């Protein structure tokens, strides 16, 4: 089976994510929740200045999520995530790894899908973002391709929401029902019985204060 899923830390302290990974995680959470709210809000509005403004925010936050996720993925590929505790059943490790992989895939594919959709319906060579920024639209995207990309983008939004629901339910279940240390891997969650925690991301294990 997958080596990544079999990587556990054996006995010893709980391994947590580094401060860099934790900061990017919570910034992404804020941006993604705001982005979902924006997407659902402007979809219901008639054409007009209010819709245009929400749409400009949506495009800008989408571009930010894409850049942040590419940076996060690069960081993660060069700083291996902390090993799982062997107490976590194997099926939960498989579920967690796939939940996280699908997040990365969607957080990269969804902004690109949105970009294709915008390019298919653009009236000129650029599209505006916040702060007087304009970015070029992708050349050669037909209206039909743009519509298809838009439909996939909308369907993916519901998959993303489902992934978030499962992810949050798992984190809360581990923390408050199982009282297992796994959520303590992502501060400000703490291990429920004050089990010792070390930073276990990258090439070494460091004390939390280090």
Whole-angstrom Cα distance, residue 110 to residue 152?
A: 9
Assess 205 for contact with ligand HEM (CB under 6 A): no
Q: Rule CB under 6 A: say whether 167 interacts with ligand HEM.
A: yes
Q: Record the tokens describing residue 196, joined without a space.
A: 């010792």
Q: Within positions 82 to 101, which residues make up the interface with ligand HEM, using CB under 6 A?
A: 96, 100
Smallest distance, ligand HEM to C-beta of residue 184, A: 8
Distance CA 206, CA 210 (A): 6
With contact defined as beta carbons under 8 Å apart, do 85 and 185 qualify?
no
The least CB distance from residue 4 to ligand HEM, in Å, is 10
Q: Is 173 in the site for ligand HEM (CB under 6 A)?
A: no
| CA atoms of 203 and 4, how far apart (whole Å) | 15
81 binds ligand HEM (CB under 6 A): yes
Which residue, 153 or 185, is less far from ligand HEM as judged by CB?
185
Indicate whether 179 belongs to the interface with ligand HEM (CB under 6 A): no
What's the min distance (Å) between Cβ of 206 and ligand HEM? 17
Q: Does 28 bind ligand HEM (CB under 6 A)?
A: yes
d(CA 169, CA 41): 25
CB-count burial class (<10 Å; 0-12, 13-18, 19+) for 119:
buried
Place of tokens 């059943």: 89
Residues 104-163 interacting with ligand HEM (rule: CB under 6 A): none
Would you say 197 and 14 are in contact if contact means Cβ atoms under 8 Å apart?
Answer: yes
Q: Is 181 in the site for ligand HEM (CB under 6 A)?
A: no
- Rounded to whole angstroms, the Cα distance separating 110 from 64 reads 12
Closer residue to ligand HEM, CB minimum distance, 61 or 96: 96
Per rule CB under 6 A, is residue 29 in the interface with ligand HEM?
A: yes
The contact set with ligand HEM (CB under 6 A) reads 25, 28-29, 32-33, 76, 81, 96, 100, 103, 164, 167-168, 171-172, 182-183, 185-186, 189
């Amino acid at each position: 089976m997958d080596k990544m899923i079999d990587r556990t830390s054996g006995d010893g302290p709980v391994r947590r994510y580094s401060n860099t990974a934790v900061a990017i995680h919570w910034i992404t959470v804020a941006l993604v929740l705001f982005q979902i709210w924006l997407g659902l809000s402007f979809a219901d509005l008639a054409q007009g200045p209010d819709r245009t403004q929400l749409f400009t925010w949506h495009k800008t936050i989408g571009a930010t999520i894409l850049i942040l996720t590419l940076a996060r993925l690069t960081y993660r590929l060069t700083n291996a995530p902390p090993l799982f505790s062997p107490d976590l059943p194997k099926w939960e490790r498989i579920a967690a790894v796939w939940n996280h992989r699908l997040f990365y895939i969607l957080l990269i594919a969804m902004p690109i899908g949105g970009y294709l959709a915008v390019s298919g319906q653009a009236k000129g060579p650029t599209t505006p973002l916040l702060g007087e920024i304009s970015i070029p639209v992708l050349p050669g995207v037909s209206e039909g391709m743009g519509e298809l990309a838009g439909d996939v983008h909308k369907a993916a939004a519901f998959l993303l929401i489902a992934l978030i629901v499962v992810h949050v339910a798992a984190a809360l279940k581990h923390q408050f029902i199982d009282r297992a240390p796994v959520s303590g891997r992502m501060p400000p969650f703490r291990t429920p019985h004050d089990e010792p925690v070390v930073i276990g991301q990258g090439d070494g294990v460091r004390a939390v204060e280090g």
